[in-house]
Amino acid sequence: MVSLSFVDSFNGWVVGSEGTIFKTNDGGVSWSILNADISVDLHDVAFVNNNIGWIVGRKLSSPFPLGKVALFKTIDGGNNWELQDSGSTNAFRSVFFRNQNIGWLGNEFGQIYHTTDGGDTWSEQNTGVNKTNKPILDIFFLNENQGWAVGFDGLVLRTINGGADWEIKNVGSYHYQKVEFIDSNIGWIIGNEGIIIKTMDSGDTWNLQNGSVTDDIFGINVLNPDNVWLVGEKGVILKTNNGGEEWFNLRSEIFASLLKEALFSIEYLSPDQFWVAGTNGIILKSNNGGTSWNKQNSGTINWLNEITFLTENIGWCVGDNGTILFTKNGGDTWSKLESHTEGDLFNAHFMNETGWIVGQNGILLKTTNGGMEWQKTDLGTTKWLSDITFSDSLYGWIVGENGTIFYTNDGGLIWKSQSTPTTNTLFSVTFIDSLNGWVAGTKVILHTQNGGNTWKIQNNPGNELTSMFNQVLFQNKSEGWVIGEGVVMNTTDSGNNWNLISNVTGVGMIGMDITSSNELWLVGGAGFILKLSDIATHVFDRRTTENITDFLLFQNYPNPFNPNTTISYQIPKSTKVVIEIYNVLGQKVVKLADKRQAAGYYHVQWNGKNINDETVTSGLYILKLTTSDFTKTKKMLLLR
């Protein structure tokens, strides 16, 4: 995504390569892709109200009737776009409109065009710039007369008569990306290599400010003379609250690397202290309510599936290949504990020194001394066990694949199987007391009011949007939450009715926690950390910003698997995605995806069946992801 335009606090549009256009009408909580059928690399977008807007870009092949020039207008909010003729033969890089009639365009050869009739007719304005490779990357008008334009090689233009005359103000030799003014005197220009310059005299003089970054800065939002926000490549987010005298980088290098990680678990201990854990041994800690995060040294590259703390110092983390980590200093150091298993461990539950861990192939471990020693409990099953919870020291439940639920009422001395109305894999279980509990899994939410003697399936709108629910969590008997692939739902009546809160396209929500101050925190794929700071209003604060720059195919999870496994991948731009499974002889087993997708992070499940819906045999299989620019394979092991 390269440009955005909001007309109010709710309605906005973003554009990017290959004709990608997204629209939101809820302030960015959810986005829908507009099928504009425009094969253009879009450079800029400008809307003046909910209906009327323009996009500009460049056609790289198979030209439009107007050559490589792409200028489109919509009068229905972006559902339909009409090609406009500006008279230019060079592609446009920027567009700015003051209202539905008056606007300007800047092209890649230093030319500016002006309209007073909504783009029906355009006239070229004299910028004084030689028609060389000096594109106009941004145009900003404070009113109908006073405006500025910026571009490559230190190009700064200013007008005081609506562009009838432009004055060249060469400022250094930087490539400038954006310009914005708060009044007739105070403004900023940002650009490549972390450049930030400010003027206090309408642009007669410009002063360099120190943002302490060398990454390109692409976006600016001036709230008032003191408060300004900047965004750029590699996830850079800069903020000032004193007019730029000091800039604070809200995104560290941790988050640049996090874009290749998925986060599985989040643990809240106090309003300030949080931990998250995920792929490749990643553990992060925040001491300031999630504003910033510090990476901790876990000492492992194994995937970490669950993190839990009893106090601000004592905590555990469990993961693949029998990994159990322990800390007694808040995660400053983590030590590995002996689990006596090489199986993947998925979840842990601790009450003081007594704790339990569940994992693949029926693994159930118990400790009575804080994890220093672990004993195996034989449940008589080889099913994968996903989650475990206790409502008190006696009553506990375990859930897993094929609708498996185990129950204890004596602190785990004896476990008994409970009957369920589903054979779907169950991923998460929560109880608020010994009677009332919920379970979430593959396209199913279950509820019991008698400790699990009977379970009932609850209807929900999420089944239309996702293949699985990863976690369920209740605050009390009435209020609860469920998250999954691109889905966040809540209920206020024990799950009799579930409400879809946020359809976060392309984001796999995997873990969540609720703080004592009624804040809902979510973690997921591509390094996402989201906070719902006011549960009543459902407004999300995205603590990391998705900035995917690479094609990536992650290792399927779990692996080995039986019979279901999840395949995760990310794409940095809109493209056709094909996902196929092959056997070791090179024969295609099944095609899981064959469609165009917007840039983002995605999941797809394989159930161990071929194209004819027949169960395949145990063995090694090859996972293949193919796009127009990228091909990658991974090995997967199915063990039945």
End-to-end CA distance of the chain: 43
Average confidence (pLDDT) over 3-24: 80
Q: Residue type at 50?
A: N
The pLDDT-based confidence of 538 (bands split at 50, 70, 90) is: very low
Report phi then psi at 538, rounded to 5.
60, 45
User: DSSP character for 272?
Assistant: S
Strand pairing category for 176-181 and 123-125: unpaired
Task: Give the separation between CA 39 and CA 48, rounded to whole angstroms.
Answer: 24
Q: What is the location of CATH 2.130.10.10 in the chain?
A: 3-254
The pLDDT-based confidence of 315 (bands split at 50, 70, 90) is: very high
Per-residue pLDDT at 513 = 76
The pLDDT-based confidence of 31 (bands split at 50, 70, 90) is: low
Which residues have C-beta within 8 Å of that of residue 614, sequence separation ≥ 6? none
Per-residue pLDDT at 159 = 96
Q: 245 pLDDT exceeds 80?
A: yes
Query: pLDDT tens digit string along 69-93?
Result: 789 999 999 989 998 988 888 888 9
Which residues have C-beta within 8 Å of that of residue 60, sequence separation ≥ 6? 41, 68
Average confidence (pLDDT) over 29-48: 78
DSSP letters, 77-105, are TTSS-EE---S-SS-EEEEEESSSS-EEE
Torsion sign, CA atoms 328, 332, 336, 342: positive
Residue 229 or 55, more confident: 55
In the chain, % of residues over pLDDT 90: 44
Torsion sign, CA atoms 627, 631, 632, 633: positive
Task: Give the separation between CA 476 and CA 366, rounded to whole angstroms.
Answer: 28
Average confidence (pLDDT) over 149-165: 92
Q: Residue type at 303?
A: W
321 to each of 380, 567, 568, how far by Cα in Å? Answer: 21, 19, 20
Look up residue 157 and give its two tokens: 């233009």
User: DSSP character for 584?
Assistant: T
DSSP letters, 110-165, are S-EEEESSTTSS-EEE-----SSS--EEEEEESSSS-EEEEESTT-EEEESSTTSS
Q: 308 pLDDT exceeds 80?
A: yes
Q: In a 3-state reduction of DSSP, which class is residue 255?
A: helix
Q: What is the mean pLDDT of the chain?
A: 84
The pLDDT-based confidence of 441 (bands split at 50, 70, 90) is: very high
Average confidence (pLDDT) over 480-502: 84
Task: Give the separation between CA 355 and CA 365, rounded to whole angstroms.
Answer: 8
* Pair 484, 504: CB distance under 8 Å: no
Query: pLDDT tens digit string along 192-241?
Result: 888 999 999 999 999 999 888 887 887 787 878 988 877 666 556 678 88
Q: What is the location of CATH 2.40.10.500 in the chain?
A: 458-547
Of 2-11, 366-375, 496-505, least confident by mean pLDDT is 496-505
Q: What is the biggest distance separating any 2 CA atoms in the chain, rounded to whole angstroms?
A: 86
The pLDDT-based confidence of 437 (bands split at 50, 70, 90) is: very high
What are residue 529's DSSP bridge partners? Answer: 523
Residue 465 or 412, more confident: 412
The fold adopted by the segment(s) 458-547 is: Thrombin, subunit H (2.40.10)
* Pair 408, 433: CB distance under 8 Å: no
Average confidence (pLDDT) over 557-566: 78
Per-residue pLDDT at 30 = 61
Q: 407 pLDDT exceeds 70?
A: yes
The pLDDT-based confidence of 467 (bands split at 50, 70, 90) is: low
Query: pLDDT tens digit string along 584-626?
Result: 778 899 999 888 887 776 778 898 999 998 999 988 889 999 9
Q: 287 pLDDT exceeds 90?
A: no
Q: 302 pLDDT exceeds 70?
A: yes
Residue 274 or 187, more confident: 187
* Pair 544, 258: CB distance under 8 Å: yes
Q: 398 pLDDT exceeds 50?
A: yes
Query: pLDDT tens digit string along 354-388?
Result: 999 999 999 999 999 888 899 999 999 999 999 99
Task: Give the separation between CA 22 and CA 12, rounded to whole angstroms.
Answer: 8
Of 187-191, 309-313, 521-525, least confident by mean pLDDT is 521-525
Task: Give the separation between CA 373 and CA 105, rounded to whole angstroms.
Answer: 70
Q: What is the location of CATH 2.60.40.4070 in the chain?
A: 552-638
Q: 25 pLDDT exceeds 90?
A: no
Residue 451 or 573, more confident: 451
Of 244-248, 533-537, 571-575, least confident by mean pLDDT is 533-537
Which helix (DSSP H) or strand (DSSP E) does residue 254 occupy?
A: helix 253-258
Q: Which of 464, 461, 457, 501 is nearest to 479 (CA)?
A: 501
The pLDDT-based confidence of 543 (bands split at 50, 70, 90) is: very low
Q: 506 pLDDT exceeds 50?
A: no
Q: 176 pLDDT exceeds 80?
A: yes
Average confidence (pLDDT) over 628-637: 84
Look up residue 287 and give its two tokens: 């001491």
Per-residue pLDDT at 605 = 83
Of 4-8, 495-499, 529-533, 574-578, least confident by mean pLDDT is 529-533
Task: Give the separation between CA 140 and CA 257, rounded to whole angstroms.
Answer: 34
Per-residue pLDDT at 639 = 77
Per-residue pLDDT at 295 = 86
Q: 508 pLDDT exceeds 80?
A: no
85 to each of 38, 61, 65, 622, how far by Cα in Å? Answer: 16, 18, 10, 50
Contacts 24+ apart (CB under 8 A), 325-328: 325/298, 325/299, 325/300, 326/370, 326/371
Per-residue pLDDT at 250 = 60
The CATH code for residues 3-254 is 2.130.10.10
Report phi then psi at 403, rounded to 5.
70, 20
Phi-psi region of 470 (alpha: psi -120 to 50; beta: other; left: phi over 0): alpha
The pLDDT-based confidence of 527 (bands split at 50, 70, 90) is: low
Q: Name the one residue in this structure whose structure tokens are 């983390």.
A: 317
DSSP letters, 340-408, are S--S-EEEEEEETTEEEEEEGGG-EEEESSTTSS-EE---S--S-EEEEEESSSS-EEEEEGGG-EEEE
Per-residue pLDDT at 540 = 41
Residue 450 or 5, more confident: 450
**448 class by beta-carbon count within 10 Å (0-12 exposed, 13-18 middle, 19+ buried):** buried
Which residues have C-beta within 8 Å of that of residue 33, sequence separation ≥ 6? 20, 21, 22, 505, 598
Per-residue pLDDT at 548 = 58
Architecture in CATH of 552-638 = Sandwich (2.60)
